[in-house]
């Protein structure tokens, strides 16, 4: 990104297992860095003030809002985005469950939900529906009314136990 | 948005009036005033930078004094415009003497806030206006006390 | 919605951070978790010229059980407190409140010291630390000082931190025996800023009378609102439902200063303060009775 | 032919790409040399633009251009009218006033675009926008739709003599006669406030002009790519064949994304041509609150006339409809309200006059429900008021008035939003209501549970609300179905898709006819290069109208398959069967031919071609209904309220939906769940708060409260299938249904829960604070 107002900072980060080195403006949001610098456009931007959760990614295994971090802040850290979970031919169990339970419609909020849920199920492999809804409290979805998302998370928990 | 309240000054009404009537002093009482220019006896403009915690905004401000009834009441028109929005307010103040050389000021008015700050900061309007009014009046009282001393 | 330009500093020691602050004063802003600051920067309502990022200072993230109570480093993340057994044991009120703060993603980044320094009157931690008689360690190149929570919060987003100072840790004293606590909140949605919240911390004496009481409200003033007179009504008393009602009445009528916004009027906030205060006292008493040690 | 695929819970074809971040949304389009736009928007709701100085912005490093209305010269003119007023209705008033690309002189709502900055990136564009100096002379602001019509009100549009945008009255029977005959006449005033559609994806436009190829490509978050293509072509003086509009994956529509033309939709393509570089504009969330259309603001004065035993004799509903600063969408919403004000009831006498009013608020166009929730709220609230007044159980009162199964088609004698006669095509309303009552256990609840809970001091209320939804309106949609040499099927249609599962439900319709796997059908929507004709996805019409075209085209392809196969296999068609992509002889399964081979043979490269032969296993068909099918449903809810805090908890939620043939229950249930969540938002969480100066006070997700996972109850969905006689699929629309009855239902449940505080709810949305006030008064 061209910058005429600020000096650039060196940044080295591992994203979905690949190491990237870039120079960025300190004000560049992590969400923009992922989407527009690295073309990892699976991470979506819905509000840029930390409420909708569409931009959630995993930083060192925990979910964060990529719109509430500057790219420079992930220097030396590990990031996982939706592109890092599974592939079309080899879906992550959570992704598979979302397809089976119809846990998405327009799919815009989905990447942020998937990353959040993957981290959640690692800390809580046997969640109750109430715990699932709590875990989703930081992700807004306008299409599904959340019910099929809750079903999908429950299903994913079962799948991951089987594994 | 309605703004109203009262304040007790540690000084006689005439002294308070002199300060209130001096827009330069008034501008100083707006927290964060940088510069003041006199346009006329009743109109002053200036640069104000409002800071509330992490929030900050530079405003081009204007104060106009009207309907004076010395030394008891007048109307103040305040305007501020800046990158984060604008503020327009018209308020009246009325002062009565209390025993012990103190002065009671009652103030009330309507403020209109617009732009970015209005669209995302509404939760804070009331508290901000309260705290800014308090800061301003405290400052005025300090000036008053020092001028008495 | 993109932030305005700023000069970025990423110190690795507190000293480095302090010298940047000392140099830039009001123009510099400390970036902790950024979960309140960065949204405001994205809206461009906050445009700090200089940003001092504390996230590369590992020494500031810790949870320790000291003899004077629980010590929490300023850069300790909310989720770390949420999942800390030491915190659960030494400051159950704080530990139990953590899941109520914002959302999982925010708790990954949000910090204990950041939330306190931000001093949002609707936030939980300022109220809890005040109710628990916590104190904070502030440092600057000029030296360091401890300040009680009750004196730290001065107004809306305003604390006794000087522009060149940083809050580096909080200390929460151990609760005396027979102490019970409660945080009661009402929010539009569970994880929104509460319309009103109140914390009650009560200590009972041997014969079940109230030895000590703290009632602190959030979202009904420009800072955590301490209802001292209401608490005094309870002290030395047997805590009957009359006593509870009287205390809640007094607190909600005279010891808070609520504002109206689009979600709640002053009237409704006073009403909620009254209702929640009664519930908080009742639950705190209950816990105090259970809490034998 | 018995259905193998239609009606099955089939997983969606589109999901793998969406789940892996491989689906392209507009903001994902990244072109070499692309520039980025940011807008300066008015902070004032009503003002004159007296000075605009963009010089500092132009000089800002990284800025390529800044444009104002003046800079547009002759290219500055308003957007086109979208829906012209009804030709069929007499003495209709309609003043068409449309939004402009950039404000020239007068600002009519806060957020109206004043200037656009084009820069190397969005950050710089926003820096520069802050450097623009704009001076406004503020004018008195028109916010209240009643005051707006008073003689001395200031005007939104100075060239009109009032703020009246439109007026239309419709009548059925003779209300005055009914009123005189009635035992009881009940009057109420009903207020409904605005909400936002708030799709998770904000709007966006990317435009690329190929100067050498003289071709414009536009990626747009629109529900209606073809009308956008046509409009852009005429606006920019290009042939339709020079303009390609692509609506790729869209992150939710809910109405506002249909509303062509947004100023940004007019400007960004124009800028791309002007600057001869690709230009991207992505709306941010704050802009979405200020620059994307909204809905629902109405004030109703209602009167219902009944006999003592609860038969509704007549209904009078005069109302004001807030259209905001402009009225590009014509009369669609208020006519929908009129058409739903009688609900599913047999009401013989009806009169309704509405006035559409200009205000200094953001433009109003349909949002999921599009006037229907208001109409249903009106009739259902009046039913409850009547039940109280007459001392009749509210459900019983409804049963006594529902249209009976033998009464269809039921002609109302008024016109609907498409200016076609309002005819309810089919349904079994009593059965749907009964299924809902049984599912929620209505009798048991009011007889046993509720009394018990009330003894325990709990405030728990029950509500049941039936509703109709007019769907599947014209004009038409089309589809082209092609069996390819691979044996896979390619299908193109003109509508856009925003998450409705079209790639799957359409594939089911086609696969059913063409005898292939659903996963072997590739559906292409939202690309004007793939299909030339069509309208768009709105009014719950996608599955009905485009679906019917798919069905027609694939049936024709099926015929072609059999004709050709019978020739090649030298067997009469009736002895052939088509399954799993293969045509075989029923009693000689070893003699068969695959669709792929047939497709090759159907495209004769050499040899004799009989005259009249069409190449390929391909057909194109169109479907346009005279009028649309009307769906019916009923919702029931059990709601608990804490009367000390006015916090609510929905304990149970039941939906029965009759949208005719269910194409895919999984997808339908998802649509219903989503609609209900928006309806719950409209009832208790979502309200746009404007102050008296036209400032929107909650233009963020921190203060505009979308319903989250923790607020949503588990929803129990039941189906009744009364097929529509209007299309071969027997389908009726369902996209908006979920949202329609919820406010009426919620109000009823609140009144029932707070029985001891005699609260009457004649407004939406509510909030804890509002309930506290209602209970106090």
Q: Measured between alpha carbons, how far is D488 from D21 in angstroms, rounded to an integer?
A: 25
pLDDT of residue C68: 80
pLDDT(D407) > 90? yes
Per-residue pLDDT averaged across D186-190, rounded? Answer: 98
Say whether residue D649 is in contact with chain C using an 8 A CB cutoff: no
Query: Which among A95, A137, A148 has CB closest to D19?
Result: A95
Assess whether C229 and C134 both reside in one domain.
no
What 8-state DSSP symbol labels residue C1? -
Q: Is residue C1 part of a domain?
A: no
pLDDT of residue C241: 96
pLDDT band at B54 (very low <50, low <70, confident <90, very high): confident
Which pair of tokens denotes residue D483? 């069996």
Does the bond joining D484 to the residue before it have cis omega, within 30 degrees of 0? no
Q: Using the 3D structure, point to which of C56, C79, C96 is the last residue of a domain.
A: C56
pLDDT(D88) > 70? no
pLDDT of residue D607: 58
Contact: A106, D674; criterion CB under 8 Å: no
pLDDT band at C169 (very low <50, low <70, confident <90, very high): very high
Residues 6+ apart with CB under 8 A from B38: B23, B24, B44
Q: Measured between alpha carbons, how far is A141 from A103 in angstroms, rounded to an integer?
A: 10
pLDDT digits (tens, 9 = 90+) for C31-70: 999 999 999 999 999 999 999 999 999 999 999 998 888 9
Nearest to C60 by CA among C28, C93, C13: C13
Q: How many CA atoms lie within 13 A of D406 on its CB side?
A: 0
What rounded mean pLDDT belongs to chain A? 95
State whether ipTM is beyond 0.90: yes
Query: In chain D, what are the helix, strand and coil shares in percent, each to the nearest 5?
Result: 30, 30, 40
Q: Measured between alpha carbons, how far is D397 from D312 in angstroms, rounded to an integer?
A: 9
Q: Measured between alpha carbons, how far is D230 from D216 in angstroms, rounded to an integer?
A: 12
Q: Using the 3D structure, point to which of C154, C172, C190 is the last residue of a domain.
A: C172
Number of H helices, E strands in chain B: 4, 7
pLDDT digits (tens, 9 = 90+) for C221-255: 999 999 999 999 999 999 999 999 999 999 999 99
Decide which of B57 and D199 is more confident.
D199
Structural domain total, chain C:
3
Q: Measured between alpha carbons, how far is D775 from D771 in angstroms, rounded to an integer?
A: 6
Which CATH number goes with the domain that contains C150? Answer: 3.30.465.10
Per-residue pLDDT averaged across D137-165, rounded? Answer: 97
| Beta carbons of C222 and B131 less than 8 angstroms apart | yes
Mutate to test the interface with A, among C100, C105, C106 (most CBs of A within 10 A): C105
Q: Is residue C85 part of a domain?
A: yes
Is D104 buried (19+), middle (13-18) or exposed (0-12) by CB count in 10 A? middle
The owner of tokens 């200390």 is C171
Question: In D493-621, where does DSSP find H-type helix?
Answer: 502-514, 547-568, 595-601
| Domains of chain B, start order | 2-144 (3.30.530.20)
Q: Which of A151-155, D107-111, D587-591 has the lowest mean pLDDT?
A: D587-591
| Beta carbons of D402 and D456 less than 8 angstroms apart | no
Contact: C118, B54; criterion CB under 8 Å: yes
Residue D693 with chain B: CB contacts under 8 Å? 112, 114
Residue D685 with chain C: CB contacts under 8 Å? 188-189
* Torsion angle of the four alpha carbons D444, D450, D452, D455, in this order, in degrees rounded to the nearest 10: -160
Nearest to D743 by CA among D372, D346, D295: D372
Say whether residue C37 is in contact with chain B using an 8 A CB cutoff: yes
Q: Is residue C2 part of a domain?
A: no
Say whether residue B112 is in contact with chain D using an 8 A CB cutoff: yes
| Domains of chain D, start order | 15-21+474-623 (3.30.365.10), 31-140+204-282 (3.90.1170.50), 294-473+626-776 (3.30.365.10)
Say whether residue B55 is in contact with chain C using an 8 A CB cutoff: yes
> Is D674 in a helix, a strand, or coil?
helix
pLDDT band at B83 (very low <50, low <70, confident <90, very high): confident
Strands (E), C22-134: 28-31, 50-53, 63-66, 69-73
What 8-state DSSP symbol labels residue C77? B
Say whether residue A9 is in contact with chain C using an 8 A CB cutoff: yes
Sheet (strand D715-719) strand order: D459-470, D630-642, D647-658, D715-719
Per-residue pLDDT averaged across D503-529, rounded? Answer: 95
pLDDT of residue A14: 98
Which CATH number goes with the domain that contains C226? Answer: 3.30.390.50
> Is C221 in a helix, a strand, or coil?
coil
Is A103 buried (19+), middle (13-18) or exposed (0-12) by CB count in 10 A? buried
Residue D647 with chain C: CB contacts under 8 Å? 186
Subunits adjacent to chain A (3 or more Cβ pairs under 8 Å): C, D
pLDDT of residue D669: 96
What angle separates helix D429-440 from helix D394-401, to the nearest 10 degrees? 160
Contact: C35, A49; criterion CB under 8 Å: no
| Domains of chain A, start order | 9-84 (3.10.20.30), 93-162 (1.10.150.120)
Say whether residue C4 is in contact with chain A using an 8 A CB cutoff: yes
Assess whether C66 and C157 both reside in one domain.
yes
Say whether residue B145 is in contact with chain C using an 8 A CB cutoff: no
Contact: D695, B114; criterion CB under 8 Å: yes
| Residue of chain D whose Cα is closest to the Cα of A41 | D28
Is D150 buried (19+), middle (13-18) or exposed (0-12) by CB count in 10 A? exposed
Assess whether C188 and C274 both reside in one domain.
yes
Per-residue pLDDT averaged across A8-13, rounded? Answer: 94
pLDDT of residue A1: 29
Say whether residue C193 is in contact with chain A using an 8 A CB cutoff: no
Strands (E), D347-405: 349-358
C 179-218 residues inside an 8 A Cβ radius of B: 193
Contact: C188, D767; criterion CB under 8 Å: yes
pLDDT of residue D654: 98
pLDDT(D345) > 80? yes
Assess whether C198 and C228 both reside in one domain.
yes
pLDDT(D217) > 70? yes
Contact: D647, C186; criterion CB under 8 Å: yes
pLDDT of residue A4: 36
DSSP letter string, A48-85: SSSSS-TTEEEETTEEEEGGGSBGGGGTT-EEE-GGGT
Q: What angle do CA C278, C280, C286 make, to 5 degrees?
A: 105
Going by their DSSP bridges, the two strands D647-658 and D630-642 should be labelled as antiparallel
Domain residues for the domain of C213 are 179-290
pLDDT band at D87 (very low <50, low <70, confident <90, very high): low
Q: Is residue C75 part of a domain?
A: yes
Assess whether C249 and C167 both reside in one domain.
no
What rounded mean pLDDT belongs to chain D? 95
Interface of C with D (CB under 8 A): 1-5, 39, 43-44, 186, 188-192, 195, 262-265, 267-268, 271-272, 275-276
pLDDT band at D758 (very low <50, low <70, confident <90, very high): confident
Say whether residue A27 is in contact with chain C using an 8 A CB cutoff: yes
Which CATH number goes with the domain that contains C14? Answer: 3.30.43.10
Query: Which among B55, B125, B130 has CB closest to C45?
Result: B55
pLDDT(D80) > 90? no
Beta carbons within 10 angstroms of residue D762's beta carbon? 18
| Residue of chain A whose Cα is closest to the Cα of C38 | A68
Assess whether C186 and C165 both reside in one domain.
no
Assess whether C128 and C63 both reside in one domain.
yes
pLDDT of residue D81: 79
The radius of gyration of chain C from alpha carbons, rounded to an integer in Å, stands at 19
pLDDT of residue D106: 97
pLDDT(A5) > 50? no
How far away is chain A from the Cα of D123, in angstroms, using its nearest Cα? 8
């Amino acid at each position: 990104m061209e910058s005429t107002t600020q000096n650039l900072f060196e940044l080295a980060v591992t994203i979905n297992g690949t190491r990237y080195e870039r120079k960025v403006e300190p004000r560049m949001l992590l969400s923009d860095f992922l989407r527009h610098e690295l073309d990892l456009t699976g991470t979506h931007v819905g509000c840029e003030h930390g409420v909708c959760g569409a931009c959630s990614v995993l930083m060192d295994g925990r979910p964060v809002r990529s719109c509430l971090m500057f790219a420079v802040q992930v220097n030396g850290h590990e990031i996982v985005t939706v592109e890092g979970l599974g592939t079309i031919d080899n879906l992550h169990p959570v992704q598979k469950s979302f397809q089976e339970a119809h846990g998405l419609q327009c799919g815009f909020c989905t990447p942020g939900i998937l990353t959040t849920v993957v981290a959640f199920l690692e800390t809580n492999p046997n969640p109750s529906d109430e715990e699932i809804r709590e875990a989703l409290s930081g992700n807004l979805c306008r299409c599904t009314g959340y019910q099929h998302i809750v079903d999908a998370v429950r299903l994913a928990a079962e799948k991951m136990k089987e594994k | 948005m309605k703004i109203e309240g009262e304040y007790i000054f540690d000084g006689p009404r005439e002294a308070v009036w002199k300060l209130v009537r001096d827009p330069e002093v008034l501008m100083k009482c707006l927290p964060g005033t940088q510069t003041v220019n006199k346009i006329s006896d009743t109109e002053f403009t200036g640069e104000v930078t409002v800071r509330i915690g992490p929030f900050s905004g530079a405003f081009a401000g204007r104060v106009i004094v009207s309907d004076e009834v010395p030394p008891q009441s007048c109307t103040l028109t305040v305007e501020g415009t800046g990158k984060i929005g604008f503020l327009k307010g018209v308020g009246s103040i009325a002062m009565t003497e209390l025993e012990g050389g103190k002065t009671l000021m009652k103030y009330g008015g309507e403020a209109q806030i617009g732009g970015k700050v209005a669209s995302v900061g509404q939760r804070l309007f009331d508290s901000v206006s309260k705290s800014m009014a308090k800061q301003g009046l405290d400052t005025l009282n300090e000036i008053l006390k020092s001028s008495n001393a | 919605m993109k932030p305005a330009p700023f000069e970025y500093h990423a110190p690795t020691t507190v000293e480095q951070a302090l010298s940047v602050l000392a140099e830039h004063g009001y123009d510099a802003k400390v970036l902790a978790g950024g979960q309140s600051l960065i949204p405001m920067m994205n809206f461009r309502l906050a445009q700090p010229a200089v940003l001092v990022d504390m996230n590369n200072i590992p020494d500031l993230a810790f949870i320790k059980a000291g003899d004077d109570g629980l010590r929490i480093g300023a850069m300790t993340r909310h989720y770390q407190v949420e999942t800390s057994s030491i915190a659960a044991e030494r400051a159950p009120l704080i530990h139990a409140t953590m899941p109520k703060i914002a959302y999982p993603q925010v708790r990954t980044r949000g910090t204990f010291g950041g939330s306190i320094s931000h001093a949002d009157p609707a936030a939980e931690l300022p109220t809890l630390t005040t109710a628990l008689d916590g104190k904070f360690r502030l440092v600057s190149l000029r030296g360091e000082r401890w300040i009680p929570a009750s004196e730290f919060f001065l107004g809306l987003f305003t604390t006794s931190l000087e522009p060149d100072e940083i809050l580096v840790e909080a200390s929460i004293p151990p609760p005396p025996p027979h102490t019970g606590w409660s945080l009661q909140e009402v929010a539009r949605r569970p994880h929104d800023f509460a319309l009103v919240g109140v914390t009650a911390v009560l200590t009972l004496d041997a014969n079940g009378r109230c030895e000590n009481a703290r009632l602190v409200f959030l979202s009904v003033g420009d800072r955590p609102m301490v209802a001292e007179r209401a608490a005094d009504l309870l002290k030395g008393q047997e805590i009957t439902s009359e006593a509870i009602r009287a205390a809640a009445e007094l607190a909600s009528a005279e010891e808070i200063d609520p504002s109206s916004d689009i979600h709640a009027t002053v009237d409704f906030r006073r009403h909620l303060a009254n209702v929640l205060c009664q519930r908080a006292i009742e639950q705190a008493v209950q816990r105090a009775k259970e809490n034998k040690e | 032919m018995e259905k193998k695929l239609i009606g099955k819970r089939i997983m969606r074809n589109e999901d793998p790409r969406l789940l892996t971040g491989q689906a392209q949304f507009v903001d994902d389009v990244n072109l070499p040399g692309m520039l980025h736009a940011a807008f300066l928007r008015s902070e004032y709701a009503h003002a004159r633009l007296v000075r605009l100085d963009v010089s500092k912005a132009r000089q800002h490093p990284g800025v390529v251009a800044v444009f104002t209305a003046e800079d547009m010269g002759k290219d500055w003119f308003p957007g086109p009218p979208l829906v012209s007023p009804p030709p069929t209705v007499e003495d209709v008033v309609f003043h068409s006033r449309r939004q402009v690309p950039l404000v020239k002189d007068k600002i009519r709502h806060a957020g109206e675009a004043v200037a656009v900055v084009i820069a190397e990136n969005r950050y710089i564009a926003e820096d520069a926008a802050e450097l623009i100096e704009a001076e406004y002379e503020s004018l008195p602001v028109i916010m209240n739709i009643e005051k707006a019509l008073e003689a001395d009100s200031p005007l939104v549009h100075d060239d009109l003599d009032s703020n009246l945008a439109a007026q239309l009255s419709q009548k059925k029977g003779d209300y005055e006669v009914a009123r005189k005959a009635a035992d009881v006449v009940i009057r109420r005033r009903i207020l409904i406030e605005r909400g936002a559609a708030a799709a998770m994806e904000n709007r966006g436009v990317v435009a690329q002009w190929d100067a050498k190829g003289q071709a414009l490509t536009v990626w747009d978050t629109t529900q209606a790519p073809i009308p956008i293509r046509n409009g852009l072509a005429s606006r920019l003086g290009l042939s339709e064949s020079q303009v390609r509009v692509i609506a790729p994956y869209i992150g939710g529509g809910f109405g506002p994304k249909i509303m062509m033309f947004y100023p940004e939709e007019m400007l960004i393509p124009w800028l791309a041509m002007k600057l001869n570089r690709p230009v991207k504009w992505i709306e941010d969330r704050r802009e979405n609150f200020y620059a994307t259309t909204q809905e629902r603001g109405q004030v109703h004065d209602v009167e219902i006339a009944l006999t003592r035993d609860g038969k509704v004799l007549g209904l009078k509903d005069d109302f004001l409809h807030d259209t905001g600063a402009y009225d590009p969408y014509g009369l669609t919403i208020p006519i929908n309200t009129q058409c739903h004000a009688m609900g599913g009831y047999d009401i013989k006498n009806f009169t309704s006059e509405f006035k559409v009013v200009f205000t200094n608020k953001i433009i109003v166009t349909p949002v999921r429900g599009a006037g229907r929730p208001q109409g249903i709220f009106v009739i259902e609230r009046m039913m409850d008021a009547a039940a109280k007044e007459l001392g009749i159980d509210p459900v019983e009162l409804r049963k006594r008035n529902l249209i009976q199964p033998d009464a269809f088609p039921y002609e109302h004698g008024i016109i609907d939003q498409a200016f076609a006669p309002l005819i309810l095509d089919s349904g079994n309303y009593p059965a749907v209501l009964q299924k809902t009552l049984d599912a929620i256990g209505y009798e048991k609840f009011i007889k046993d549970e509720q009394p018990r809970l009330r003894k325990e001091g709990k405030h728990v209320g029950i509500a049941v609300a039936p509703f109709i939804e007019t769907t599947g309106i014209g004009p038409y949609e089309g589809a082209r179905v092609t069996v390819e040499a691979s044996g896979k099927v390619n299908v193109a249609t003109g509508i856009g898709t925003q998450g409705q599962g079209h790639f799957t439900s359409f594939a089911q319709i086609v696969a059913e006819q063409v005898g292939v796997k659903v996963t072997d059908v590739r559906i292409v929507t939202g690309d004007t290069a793939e299909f030339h004709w069509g309208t768009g996805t709105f009014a719950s019409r996608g599955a009905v109208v485009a679906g019917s075209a798919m069905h027609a085209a694939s049936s024709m392809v099926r015929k072609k398959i059999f004709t050709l196969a019978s020739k090649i296999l030298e067997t009469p068609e009736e002895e052939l069967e088509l399954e799993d992509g293969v045509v075989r002889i029923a009693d000689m399964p070893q003699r068969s031919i695959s669709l792929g081979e047939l497709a090759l043979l159907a495209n004769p490269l050499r040899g004799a071609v009989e005259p009249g032969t069409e190449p390929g296993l391909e057909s194109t068909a169109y479907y346009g209904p005279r009028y649309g099918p009307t769906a019916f449903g009923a919702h029931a809810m059990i709601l608990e309220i804490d009367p000390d805090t006015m916090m609510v908890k929905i304990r149970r939620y039941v939906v029965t939906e009759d949208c005719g043939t269910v194409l895919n229950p999984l997808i339908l249930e998802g649509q219903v769940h989503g609609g209900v969540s928006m309806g719950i938002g409209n009832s208790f969480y979502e309200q746009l708060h404007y102050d008296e100066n036209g400032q929107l006070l909650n233009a963020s997700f921190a203060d505009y409260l979308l319903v989250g996972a923790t607020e949503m109850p588990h929803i129990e969905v039941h189906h009744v299938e009364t097929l529509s006689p209007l299309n071969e699929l027997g389908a009726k629309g369902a996209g908006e249904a979920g949202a329609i009855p919820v406010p009426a239902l919620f109000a009823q449940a609140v009144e029932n829960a707070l029985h001891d505080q005699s609260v009457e709810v004649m407004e939406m949305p509510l909030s804890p604070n509002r309930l506290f006030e209602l209970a106090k008064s």
